[in-house]
Structure 1
């Protein structure tokens, strides 16, 4: 079978002549196939250069014809322009073209008019769709491979009919992003409206100038996440601080896993573990709200019956020393053994926070979130610390009905002081040149940011 690809400027007379010749051959020859690529005049040169560079060809005019080696694999074989295609058809198929010049011009004009009408129709169609825009930075991180299918499954955003997914990775390559885009589109998920790969440096400034002021931002990662959230806040001054959170669900889940092993229950049967402090630095695991279901102890009840974790765990020394250290070591152990396992944990945590932010959780469920200190617990202003929060009607609020003793308050003051010093060091290293790049202080910017945009950048 002979398969040819015919590409050319929409308004090109020679493209029109080659197109009609190819149609004639396809109608009369059962083994002849033609694929047409019509490019708008203002896009032709860029498309031509890109295609030639990708295939190692040299061609400078419209149209361009090549043969796909469908039986042999590999890249196509360049045939040339219209004259080369005409000569090939005459030699191999004894078919020629005798189209008058004025007819060629008329067909070319009709092609352009038809294409412009299609463009206008598509723009109108797209303008009627109001998708939810989701931006993922560090999109080539393994976390994204677990996260993206769930984001587009209608479970996290049940009332959203279309999603535009934007993939960013400052340290990745364009080819990797394009493959991720293709893989996402190949899943044929109903909610996916548009997928875009792009690169931006000034995330905070971008949100400040272009994002919907109701944008929601989640920061997740293994290093300096509180600091990164602070930097975004500093560069997006027009957006409310309540719309930025740093995710501590990974630490919560790691703490639950250790407790579950100690109590011989499932991890899912432990709830409301609290993480205070610097999520990727100095933190404290607090169990004053933690509850345990299905514990095999002296007191038993139905499936909905729970007990306070502190009433079951009597070894206070273990809770204050060994348990805290085990949680600190757990993440490092998971990452060292399986990057994929850590990515699954991160994706699961992000999805849990998104569901809570969208109202898909109980108002009594407690989450640990790194947020700009709201003035509670006698903490200093301007510091992002992990605190216990609950979600109601799409908004989080600090959980105030807690006991914060002198020892915990001292810990929090120490954590705040450490973070303030890191922020001062960062400022001394010129934030503009470092906070969105790899550097000795910040390390690779490996976090996930979700931004819901009313007006997308780079999309219709």
Structure 2
């Protein structure tokens, strides 16, 4: 007997990231070459025709691991018995919109989808929030799905982690597989802190391999922080291929585990480690084993890093307050 299929929900599935992500899941990039999947694809009614087109292409691709596709605009149907939920759908900020307006739209979306997951998903569902503001959307989802364990709700900072790996690899002329243990601290925003103090290149400390402290403390950080905006400027559209790839990396390592001695960056519910604010979703270095994650402890944080962690933590506390204000207004 082969393995039973795993049901994977992708919200916003007719969009760019969803279109890039669905075939990667169907081909085994997320869960492995021996794991059948059933895809649950959700989008809003105006995207229904496009969503059906995505389903048609998935069927036409004849992926051996793909044991079924549910394409729907009904959130209850989409969330029914799912094992994994990748929350790509959200409301993007548009020209002239105030920050609170965007937050209010996303609070409404994630409150509704949290309720559907709470009601319909498998009890052990693992949730990855991709849509921005990812950390705070994940927090709102957690607040509105109390039966889902907090440790099962995460947000995507693996894209930033992979961007940092790529920058170091390119700078040192080394295959990216030789770069280990960078860290993304904090928010998936321009306040995040990409940290190489504990990383290595082919077993050698990154600082030694790069041999350019000014670049590491300056252009490296700003390049990783601003990479999303740079890609929008070049393509006229936001990151899709890299976001889909990193979402697969995030789920694969979470479920299958990280290699011994290697950590990755994940946005998880903060316990206050490293002085981060509690009760927000904060990106930490984590090790994964047996379907769980744990924050890597005992890393030395210098004054420069501590200042960066405080800045990104302060931003998340501010975002949380704004989101809770929007949540309270929506409940009136």
Aligned mate of 2:152, from 243, 246, 265: 243
**Partner residue of 2:273?**
376
2:60 to 186, 189, 195: 186
> 1:155 and 1:282, CA in 2 relative to 1: closer, same or farther beyond 3 A?
closer
Displacement of 1:366: 1.3
- Does residue 414 (structure 1) correspond to residue 311 (structure 2)? The answer is yes
Which residue, 219, 234, 252 being the options, matches 2:129? 219
Tell me how far apart the structure 2 counterparts of residues 205 and 192 of structure 1 sit (CA, whole Å): 27
Distance 2:237 2:175 in 1: 22
CA distance in 1 between partners of 2:210 and 2:181 (Å): 15
Q: Which runs of 5+ in 2 are unaligned?
A: 76-108
Instruction: Tell me if structure 1 keeps the 8 A contact 2:159–2:247.
Output: no
> Which TM-score applies when normalising by structure 1?
0.59
**Aligned equivalent of 2:294:** 397
Pick aligned residue for 1:273 from 182, 203, 213: 182
Query: Take 1:163 and 1:432, find their aligned partners in 2: how far apart are those partners?
Result: 39
2:190–2:225 Cα contact (<8 Å) kept: no
Deviations 1:420-446 (A, max 9, x none): 212222232346759xxxxxxxxxxxx
Among 311, 315, 323, the residue aligned to 2:208: 311
- Give 1:204 shift: 0.7
* Cα distance in 2, alignment partners of residues 381 and 329 from structure 1: 26
The answer for the alignment partner of 2:78 in structure 1 is none
Please give the root-mean-square deviation of Cα atoms over the aligned residues, in Å: 2.5
Aligned residues: 293
The match for 2:101 is: none
Q: Secondary structure at the match of 2:265?
A: strand
**Residue by residue, what CA displacement relative to the aligned partner does 1:325-353 show, whole Å, maximum 9, x if unpaired?**
12223221122222678211111111111
Distance 1:226 1:337, change over 3 A: same
Q: Are 2:166 and 1:257 equivalent residues in the alignment?
A: yes
Residues 399-438 of structure 1 show CA distances to partners (whole Å, capped at 9, x for unaligned) of 113112344233323322221212222232346759xxxx
Distance, in Å, in 2 between the alignment partners of 1:314 and 1:355 is 33
Which residue in 2 is equivalent to 1:334?
Answer: 231
Distance 1:415 1:361, change over 3 A: closer
- Distance of aligned partners of 1:171 and 1:227 in 2 relative to their CA distance in 1, 3 Å threshold: farther
Partner residue in 2 for 1:386: 283
The aligned runs of 1:28-427 (5 Å cut-off) are 131-158=5-32, 162-170=36-44, 172-199=46-73, 200=75, 202-221=112-131, 223-293=132-202, 306-338=203-235, 342-359=239-256, 361-427=258-324
For residues 200-245 of structure 1, what are the alpha-carbon distances to aligned partners after superposition, in whole Å with 9 as ceiling and x for unaligned? 3511111222222211111124x31111111111111111111111
**TM-score for both structures, normalised by structure 2:** 0.80
Per-residue CA deviations over 1:86-126 (Å, capped at 9, x if unaligned) read xxxxxxxxxxxxxxxxxxxxxxxxxxxxxxxxxxxxxxxxx
Q: Which runs of 5+ in 1 are unaligned?
A: 1-128, 294-305, 435-460
Q: Which residue of 2 aligns with 1:103?
A: none
1:248-286 per-residue CA deviation (whole Å, 9 max, x = no partner) reads: 122122223322332222333322211111112411111
CA drift of 1:361 comes to 4.0
CA contact (8 A) 2:186 2:193 kept: yes
Take 1:327 and 1:159, find their aligned partners in 2: how far apart are those partners?
A: 31
Determine which structure has more spread, i.e. the larger CA radius of gyration. 1
